[in-house]
Structure 1
Amino acid sequence: MTLCATKFTPEVLLSAPRRSAAVPNPSGKKALFSVSAWSFEEHKKTSQIKLLDIESGQSKVLVEDLNASEPTWLEDDVFFYLKRGDKGSTKIIANSTSESGPAGYEVVAFDGSLSNVKTTKLASGIVALVFSALTTPEETLANPETEEKPLSSAKIYTSLFARHWDKWITENRNSLWYTALEKKDGKYVPAAPGLFNALAWTKLSSPVAPFGGTGDFDVSPSGLIFVAKDPTIDPAIYTKTDLYYIPLSDFTEGNPPKPQLVETPGLEGYSGSPTFSHDGRKIAFTRMRSRQYESDKTRLLLIPDVGDLSKVEEFYKTEDGEGGWDARPDHIVWSSDDSSLFVTAEQAARNLIFTLPSNPKDAQDLPKPVKTTDGSVGDVRQLGDSSAKLFVTSSSLVDNSCYSVLDPSEGSASIVSSSSKQGKTFGLTRSSISSITFKGAGDYNVDALVMTPSFFERKKKYPLCFLIHGGPQGAWTDSWSTRWNPAIFAEQGYVVVSPNPTGSTGYGMALQNGITGDWGGKPYNDLVNAFEYIADNMPYVDVDRAVALGASYGGYMINWIQGHPLGRKFKALVCHDGAYSTLNQWSTEELFFPIHDFEGTIYDNRETYEKWDPARFASEWATPQLLIHGELDYRLPVTEGLAPFNILQAKGIPSKLLIFPDENHWVLKPENSLVWHREVLSWINKYSGIEEEQQAAVADALARDVQGARIWS
């Protein structure tokens, strides 16, 4: 039986089970998924692999093991998973979902850490497997746990990317490795004498660090397709990743053919989501135009025949090169007959599924969204090998994980399983969610998501919690988060408003690109307009008790607001891993980011960096502020948190510094995240007056208990 929370607290948020995307089996009747949870009572994590019956929505545990991950189907009732072994090794364990099937058994083990597995079945019945793994300069599997440790901790570099995200760069790199399994005497065994490095001696690396995964490659009986950084240009200066194809007819032998480059003239930015058609002859993928803009518009492309990589067709191509579809397609799924594509893209604070013909010549009308359940799509799969239906993993502002079946032909969506019973186990409902639209700083409108407490009464007034998103090319969406969850703030007693101002994604490229070279301009004025709209049109919001919070670019904007009139409208501010001085942007690792957003290098265009520097206005700072930073944040080094804290302290402004030595740009460890939530809520509640209200409520409850005891004594 699932217990319901009496109040949605940080403890409830962080200890709630976290489910992976679910993967249907070939018949479309069952699905595999992983689920993990953290116990604050025992201070430990649990992890399970579970089986979902798609018709009934019921699930059962197949494997309970912290070292087990990535369950993958081999056939309708047989799957395997990766198991982390001793001294950095990885085992492949096969298992059956049927009680009459064989018990779990080890198929093979490898001396290294494998992940991001994909499979394809060959005509011979052999199953080809492709993994990613850390690889040494000698093109062997890297195993940091067994390699010889250096006597010195010195790190020496002569090129860019000394460090990336939260790691110092080493000589090891990501590579793609393949092998094969076959079935003998009812069990799967290796069909190849080990693992083969598909990218050996090519200087190519895939998946692309730091966040690349299975979306960076695909496998079919015809071969392997993947994206990798162009090794001839500097990866810290340019975003350019190219698409490569390796024809492979046999996954049981080494010495693979040299990767073949897919050229896309006029498009030189990030490539992504390469996906084979079911027949293995066509490839759909995405690519950006700019090679220095990480958030450029993705174009949807097609290789009609892998036998001729020179022919690449673009969907919705226009003569001016802008493309006719003003969206950023991402995840790609082919229909069962390869006649259509289903792609995900952001639209107005939701991630949706769009459908279009798989032939660009037939794609005359712009894609239309397929009916989905509430919230945003996280993953899409075909429901079985021959089904026309889709199996979707999604989430929303009130539901942390939902599995549903979509029928695109009928325009219907039905929920199979919701981890939180559509928010009920958290005490949350869709009635708490709404949106507002107000005039932006220019000739455009801006949207904002609004979340009210579950105990909301329109006749009462609630302090404003004003959330500013990061990116800056990002957006607040109707989706779940364990780091910035609006419901956590709403359940404290706030009305939470989350604007999507200039720079936000999902509202067209004009609004998104409007932030370039204008970090503290239109976005700031959009937020000023948002605050004024709330004050004038939302009588149940107490703007005199408002607080504002932001992370990354949102943290930059908190520091910018501090030095400008809007900063005096808030009782308290919270800045998480924000930029204090734009003149320090070149202490980051991906230099293409400031080069694009500030329209040049700091030595060629210093004026723009200086214009939008929050440090210029430190003399105006006056609002109490909490600063949070992770020491492993190499995107925005920890000094960006220390400097503003020092200034606030020197000026005598109430301030607090929260440092996590073992966290990066995000606070991911459950115990650290709990501290984060407690400190943030304590800070804003103190200055908004909610802390005083909570204390009064506790005192009132105690008084009632005492009075009741007297009556019954």
Structure 2
Amino acid sequence: MTTRAEKFTPEVLLSAPRRSSASPNSAGNLAVYTVSTYSFESHKKTTEIKVLDIATGRSTLITNEEKTSEPHWLGHGNELLWLQSTEKGATKLVVGSVYEIGKSYVAGVVPGPISDVKLKILDDEKVAIAVSGKARPDGELYNPEDEPKKFTTGMLYDSLMVRHWDKYVTPNKNAIWHGILHKTKPHITESKGRYGLGNLTNVLKGTRLESPIPPWGGQDNFDLSATGVGFVSKDPDLNPATNTKSNFYYVHVGYSPNGLTYSEPVKIVVEGFEGTSTAPVFSPSGKGVAFLQMKENGYESDKNSIIVDFDVENPATTVKLLESNDGEASWDRSPSSVSWSNDEKTLFLIAEDNGVTKLFKLQIPVDSRVSTLPEPLTQSGTVSDVQTLGTNSSHLFLSSSSLIDNSIYSILDPVGSAKAKVVSSNSHNGSFFGLSEDQVSDIWFQGAKVQVHAWVMKPSNFSSDKKYPLAYLVHGGPQGAWTDSWSTRWNPAIFAEQGYVVIAPNPTGSTSYGQEFTDAITEEWGGLPYEDLVKGLEYIKDNLDYVDTDHAVALGASYGGYMMNWMQGHALAKEFKALVCHDGVFSMANQLSSDEQYFPNHDLGGPYFTRHQATWEKWNPARFTGNWSTPMLVIHNELDYRLPISEGLAMFNVLQEKGIESRFLTFPDENHWVLKEENSLFWHTVVLNWINKFTGLPAYKDEKEQGYIVQN
């Protein structure tokens, strides 16, 4: 970013450059990343591949060709490999040098869409490569452009799932493809040889396994070593709609004069762990592997435990770290990723802790039953990625964000006590957005049972002599949290800059405050969290004299949308001038039409058709529609298969029939989220206009300039 915004608006949020995590080269002096920027003037998005000089903080453009993605360092030099999709669905593997910009070449063409590139240097002439891509039922790469014409649109299913997130399930499954990039000898006109791609082999062919696991699995679902591929996959013998159990598998890759050979996938069994497995990563030597595993099948928010196999070719060496004598974990935080130090003596963990996503270090023990807990290395913001700063360094390169900055690159010495040194801040610590750290604080208040944490965001022009209307945000999940991180969907600063004090509580069920607090929402959807929110508002009234609670609004999405509906039928809604419900639950029984049935089954005690039906009905917002009276904006999208659009239509029908002031906003081409920039801008405009109307703030802008408005 080069221009300071006069005011942080939705346009600024959505048009600000979005940087990916950055990856250092083997020398530790350069880092490659992508940056995408959307223009509301041209209505187009541009994507660039850039390289950061870590010493100076300056970046160099490598390419801005359309449809390029996923740059990776290739070999020990300064060459890069990136992907470029073609109009016919194929994918080019392009190689270019940092020092010869514009002289890239195509190392190979894969006849279908691929992504999630992983590379491993084998020697000076060979680099192993693994990618993900859809496979047809026969195990060959799927290209939708080659799909034969069908004369019916009918799809017949004999088992779940029928559809997942925003797509109908098809016979084509995710698979991992492995091959070798060979470097040829230099041509007489060249100073060095060129890489060429050999055949790619589907290492899951004929196994019934699928990896990455849909809908969110990507690079975090598999890894590559010099001698094998490790990946996680759901258990093929269990129904994916009612089970979360997945396993870690290892495929040994052999090299011979006749080519590559692949073993059958070997499942690494972790006794007592029947839940989700994720985030596998090989040690630098490739001998060991670490991954995360949950204990409980059917519970997607169970605590992640750290599993290490010190010799992946010998699964008997698998151990569970931080396990106490009673079989429970001695650390009550749940890491989301794990990585190794270069000397293989330390693991680095990313985990939420009290609303902050921190980096921790854990010394790898000889005995898994140790008392030493992971040590936090960061104290603020949200670390999204960590890599060693080159192959011979103990320092770390971090990619992170915060509530005021959408992208930060920094260097950290994990041995020293100094804070991370910022190498590059996309917004100069928020200043280009007109934001500052002074706007952000937090509070703790007594909840239903324990102390509850909440983030507070004030306007940038805040004055202690004034009162500001309250925007009370309820997060989704419900096993989620408001953290010190950037968002382009629910960004507290957007509401603060309209003139609100934003308070974002993390009630019972939230992550990052220990597993017991997370688990406490089970069979308590409208209970403990609701009580926490009531007590949070009482605390605000009694302690924050700069908040005008007489002009308050509440907003929530997903579970937060459920809570808007639950509040509507209970006393708390009367405290607010208006509500916003985005893709929320209206009728608990309609969760039977959702995709992942294990989710309501776990949180409500069991399936609806069992003795647990009473719990489903106990927390059903539709039971209390007779009490609804607060004006509400309902937002629900057509492609939301997790919470089907009938939920939003039912809410709107009730509101309209009761004569309650209300509006209905829908996007036929969006899922549970609103991701397209133009749609997101319209979403922000409608939401801000709605809440501003009831709090005495001016309208944000004319909706008719952006959206299609139907007035019957």
TM tier relative to shorter chain = over 0.9
Aligned residue number for residue 229 of structure 2: 224
* 1:160, distance to aligned residue in structure 2 (A): 0.7
Q: What code does the residue aligned with 2:482 have?
A: W
* 1:199, distance to aligned residue in structure 2 (A): 0.6
Q: What code does the residue aligned with 1:89 have?
A: A
Tell me which of 274, 295, 302 is aligned to 2:280.
274
Q: Is this contact kept in 2: 1:371–1:406, CA < 8 A?
A: no
Q: Is this contact kept in 1: 2:688–2:700, CA < 8 A?
A: no
* 1:692, distance to aligned residue in structure 2 (A): 7.5
* 1:65, distance to aligned residue in structure 2 (A): 1.8
* 1:595, distance to aligned residue in structure 2 (A): 0.7
Answer yes or no: is 1:625 the counterpart of 2:632: yes
Tell me the TM-score normalized by structure 2: 0.95
Which runs of structure 2 are paired with 1:49-64 in the superposition (5 Å)?
A: 49-64=49-64
Tell me which of 373, 383, 387 is aligned to 1:381.
387
Aligned residue number for residue 475 of structure 1: 481
Aligned residue number for residue 700 of structure 1: none
Secondary structure at the counterpart of residue 385 of structure 1: coil
Secondary structure at the counterpart of residue 584 of structure 1: helix
Q: Is this contact kept in 1: 2:254–2:262, CA < 8 A?
A: no
Q: What code does the residue aligned with 1:566 have?
A: L
Aligned residue number for residue 206 of structure 1: 211
Aligned residue number for residue 709 of structure 1: none
* Percent identity over paired residues: 49
Aligned residue number for residue 353 of structure 1: 359
Aligned residue number for residue 661 of structure 1: 668
- 1: distance between equivalents of 2:208 and 2:687? 45
Which runs of structure 2 are paired with 1:388-403 in the superposition (5 Å)?
A: 388-403=394-409
Tell me which of 407, 426, 434 is aligned to 1:427.
434
Aligned residue number for residue 708 of structure 1: none
Q: What code does the residue aligned with 2:105 have?
A: Y
* 1:364, distance to aligned residue in structure 2 (A): 2.8
* 1:510, distance to aligned residue in structure 2 (A): 1.2
* 1:125, distance to aligned residue in structure 2 (A): 3.9
Which runs of structure 2 are paired with 1:415-494 in the superposition (5 Å)?
A: 415-442=422-449, 444-494=450-500
Secondary structure at the counterpart of residue 87 of structure 1: coil
Which runs of structure 2 are paired with 1:104-115 in the superposition (5 Å)?
A: 104-115=104-115
The gaps in structure 2 that reach 5 residues or longer are 187-191, 703-712
Secondary structure at the counterpart of residue 361 of structure 1: coil
Which runs of structure 2 are paired with 1:209-288 in the superposition (5 Å)?
A: 209-250=214-255, 253=259, 256-288=262-294
Answer yes or no: is 1:646 the counterpart of 2:653: yes
CA deviation string 1:571-595 (max 9, x = no partner)? 0000000000111111101000011
Q: Is this contact kept in 2: 1:221–1:249, CA < 8 A?
A: no
* 1:182, distance to aligned residue in structure 2 (A): 1.9
Q: Is this contact kept in 2: 1:398–1:430, CA < 8 A?
A: yes
- 1: distance between equivalents of 2:229 and 2:604? 38
- 2: distance between equivalents of 1:109 and 1:651? 60
* 1:517, distance to aligned residue in structure 2 (A): 0.3
Greater mean deviation of Cα atoms: 183-192 or 427-436: 183-192
Secondary structure at the counterpart of residue 683 of structure 2: helix
Greater mean deviation of Cα atoms: 241-250 or 565-574: 241-250
- 1: distance between equivalents of 2:248 and 2:103? 41
Secondary structure at the counterpart of residue 416 of structure 1: strand
Q: Is this contact kept in 2: 1:546–1:569, CA < 8 A?
A: yes
* 1:2, distance to aligned residue in structure 2 (A): 0.8
Q: What code does the residue aligned with 2:30 have?
A: K
- 1: distance between equivalents of 2:69 and 2:217? 17
Secondary structure at the counterpart of residue 310 of structure 1: helix
- 2: distance between equivalents of 1:347 and 1:156? 45
* 1:409, distance to aligned residue in structure 2 (A): 1.1
Aligned residue number for residue 533 of structure 2: 527
Q: What code does the residue aligned with 1:144 have?
A: P
- 2: distance between equivalents of 1:125 and 1:246? 23
User: How many residue pairs were aligned?
Assistant: 691
Tell me which of 637, 641, 645 is aligned to 1:634.
641
Aligned residue number for residue 72 of structure 2: 72
Q: Is this contact kept in 1: 2:253–2:260, CA < 8 A?
A: no
Q: Is this contact kept in 1: 2:120–2:225, CA < 8 A?
A: yes
- 2: distance between equivalents of 1:359 and 1:137? 44
Tell me which of 618, 623, 641 is aligned to 1:616.
623
Tell me which of 523, 544, 547 is aligned to 1:538.
544
Q: What code does the residue aligned with 1:624 have?
A: P
Answer yes or no: is 1:407 the counterpart of 2:413: yes
* 1:254, distance to aligned residue in structure 2 (A): 5.2
Aligned residue number for residue 683 of structure 1: 690
- 1: distance between equivalents of 2:563 and 2:460? 29
- 1: distance between equivalents of 2:540 and 2:254? 62
Q: Is this contact kept in 1: 2:232–2:249, CA < 8 A?
A: yes
* 1:332, distance to aligned residue in structure 2 (A): 1.3
Q: Is this contact kept in 2: 1:391–1:403, CA < 8 A?
A: yes
Q: Is this contact kept in 2: 1:298–1:329, CA < 8 A?
A: yes
| Alignment RMSD | 1.5
Greater mean deviation of Cα atoms: 121-130 or 23-32: 121-130
The gaps in structure 1 that reach 5 residues or longer are 696-713
Secondary structure at the counterpart of residue 545 of structure 1: strand
- 2: distance between equivalents of 1:546 and 1:275? 47
- 1: distance between equivalents of 2:268 and 2:239? 20
CA deviation string 1:363-403 (max 9, x = no partner)? 4311110136x411011111101110000000000000000
- 2: distance between equivalents of 1:2 and 1:367? 39
Q: What code does the residue aligned with 1:88 have?
A: G
Q: Is this contact kept in 2: 1:333–1:382, CA < 8 A?
A: no
Q: What code does the residue aligned with 1:621 have?
A: W
Secondary structure at the counterpart of residue 463 of structure 2: coil
Aligned residue number for residue 116 of structure 2: 116
Query: Residues 112, 538 of structure 1: CA spacing in aligned structure 2 closer, same or farther, 3 A cutoff?
Result: same
Answer yes or no: is 1:583 the counterpart of 2:584: no
Q: Is this contact kept in 2: 1:371–1:411, CA < 8 A?
A: no
Q: What code does the residue aligned with 1:430 have?
A: E
Aligned residue number for residue 92 of structure 2: 91
* 1:179, distance to aligned residue in structure 2 (A): 1.1
Aligned residue number for residue 131 of structure 2: 131
* 1:264, distance to aligned residue in structure 2 (A): 0.6
Aligned residue number for residue 176 of structure 2: 176
- 2: distance between equivalents of 1:392 and 1:672? 32
Q: Is this contact kept in 1: 2:588–2:621, CA < 8 A?
A: yes
Moved over 6 A (4+): 692-695
* 1:645, distance to aligned residue in structure 2 (A): 0.3
Q: Is this contact kept in 2: 1:313–1:360, CA < 8 A?
A: no
Which runs of structure 2 are paired with 1:151-190 in the superposition (5 Å)?
A: 151-184=151-184, 185=186, 186-190=192-196
* 1:320, distance to aligned residue in structure 2 (A): 3.2
Q: What code does the residue aligned with 2:151 have?
A: L
Secondary structure at the counterpart of residue 88 of structure 2: helix
Q: What code does the residue aligned with 1:606 have?
A: Q
Secondary structure at the counterpart of residue 698 of structure 2: helix
* 1:253, distance to aligned residue in structure 2 (A): 3.6
- 2: distance between equivalents of 1:331 and 1:169? 28
- 2: distance between equivalents of 1:497 and 1:38? 29
Secondary structure at the counterpart of residue 330 of structure 1: strand
